[in-house]
Amino acid sequence: MKEFNLNTLVRKNILNIQPYISFRDHNEFKAPVMLDANECPFGEFNRYPDSSQKKLKKKIAEIKGISPSEIALGNGSDELIDLIIKIFCEPKKDAILMMNPSFAMYAFYAAVNENEVLKLDLDENFEILKDDFLKITQEQDIKVFFLCSPNNPTGNSVQDIEFFIQNFDGIIVIDEAYIEFSGNKSGIELLAQYPNVIVLQTFSKAWGTAGARVGVAYASEGIIRFINTVKAPYNVNSLSQELILNLLDNKEKLKENVDNILRERTWLEEQFKTIECIENVFPTDANFFLIKMKNAEEVYNRMLKEEILTSKRTPAIPDCIRINVGSREENKKLINVLKAIAS
Ligand SMILES: *Cc1c(COP(=O)(O)O)cnc(C)c1O
């Protein structure tokens, strides 16, 4: 990688924004009388949340073996995707790059921010073609590359991630929403070496708390400072901060969820082999399968009639449906319905 200067990548207006600092959250008090924020003095959740999420970041930092200053929290990692685009991409001027197919939210937030979306078509095994990557990054001025691994909706992990980091001058976001299911090492290990990397993780999938809306960005102190500057001051509410703090005290819960889902994933994979309309189950490192079927549209609609909701990927991925791993009871119902459709 060439020399890296964060300030030349950040939008000029963002460089000059002063973060909103909650005086209360940045000072220590023993038993303060809080008459500074126009809150109600009564009630359990009457106070604004800690805008800098100190306790939660400290705990996550301990677990991950990094500094709290290298962590930003978002209202889901969706918010962090939005903020990253806002920090680096000048509306109507800059472009992002994403894999195709991949997670739809990158293009969504880029569109809201009026940034061009360049797509890197994956090969038949849903891998990135390195030559295509080198060509597009040399020809186009790309600010942010969203690299999703394991990739949604294909399920596979990106191979040789360092190659893409080393050959890209912009910001590279490694979205690890499904990392817990993969057994792969996290990109967090690469942060010390590569100042242009941001790793995203979430409590929405393996941790089982999608309703709490908490996502995490890991990056250099410099990048984290910009995320904290542009985020809404109270972006993670007190209930969610408390919930996740308690959850982190109970790491068995994560293991339990992951073990259970991996066991069910194996069970489903075996069951899929017995279903005639299934042509191909793509290898997955995540908690879902991308499945190629005969008459995918029809199968999708017939499952829907039975109130089994799956994710139709046609026509973007021809003949494919994405189905996530549920509880044993849900999985059994899915298999029974698929068998009935196939017969
Ligand atoms: C589900 C998902 C997310 C994020 O979710 P939040 O609930 O906003 O944390 C991020 N990236 C990918 C690829 C996902 O599939």
Q: How far is CA 312 from CA 163, 199, 315, in A?
A: 32, 28, 9
Q: How far is the CA of 178 from the centre of ligand 1 (A)?
A: 8
Q: How far is the CA of 175 from the centre of ligand 1 (A)?
A: 8
9-50 pLDDT, tens digit per residue, is 999 999 999 988 889 988 999 999 999 999 999 999 999 999
Cα angle 100-283-334, degrees, rounded to a multiple of 5: 100
Distance between first and last Cα of the chain: 56
Enumerate the β-bridge partners of residue 148: 175
87: CA distance to ligand 1 center in Å?
A: 19
Task: Give me the phi and psi of 71, to 5 degrees please.
Answer: -130, 130
pLDDT at 25: 87
Structure tokens at 265: 């994933």
Average pLDDT of the chain, as a whole number: 96
Residue 202 near ligand 1, beta carbon < 6 Å: yes
Q: From the CB of 215, is ligand 1 less than 6 Å away?
A: yes
Question: How far apart (Å, rounded) are the C-alpha atoms in residues 100 and 118?
Answer: 9
Cβ burial, residue 98 (10 Å; 0-12/13-18/19+) = buried
Any atom of ligand 1 within 6 Å of the Cβ of 204: yes
Distance from Cα 68 to the centre of ligand 1, integer Å: 22
Query: Cβ(306)–Cβ(280) under 8 Å?
Result: no
Max CA separation in the chain (angstroms) = 70
Q: How far apart are CA 78 and CA 256, in angstroms?
A: 25
Task: Using a cut of 0.95, tell me whether the model's pTM lies above it.
Answer: yes
Q: Which atom of ligand 1 is nearest to the CA of 215?
A: 9
Determine the Cα–Cα distance for residues 325 and 86; give it in Å rounded to an integer. 34
**Are the CB atoms for 229 and 216 separated by under 8 Å?**
no
For the chain, which residues make up each domain, given as ranges?
Answer: 6-249, 252-342
Cα–Cα distance, 137 to 69 (Å, whole number): 30
Q: Give the pLDDT of the chain (343 residues) as one tens digit per residue.
A: 557 899 999 999 999 999 888 899 889 999 999 999 999 999 999 999 999 999 999 999 999 999 999 999 999 999 999 999 999 999 999 999 999 999 999 999 999 999 999 999 999 999 999 999 999 999 999 999 999 999 999 999 999 999 999 999 999 999 999 999 999 999 999 999 999 999 999 999 999 999 999 999 999 999 999 999 999 999 999 999 999 999 999 989 999 999 999 999 999 999 999 999 999 999 999 999 999 999 999 999 999 999 999 999 999 999 999 999 999 999 999 999 999 997 7
Query: How many whole angstroms separate alpha carbon 319 and alpha carbon 282?
Result: 13
Q: Which CATH class is domain 252-342?
A: alpha beta
Q: Hey, what are 193's tokens? A: 């070496």
Question: What number does the ligand 1 atom closest to the CA of 151 have?
Answer: 13
Q: Determine whether domain 6-249 maps to CATH 3.40.640.10.
A: yes
Give pLDDT, residue 126: 98
**Rounded-to-10 torsion of CA 40, 46, 49, 50:** 70
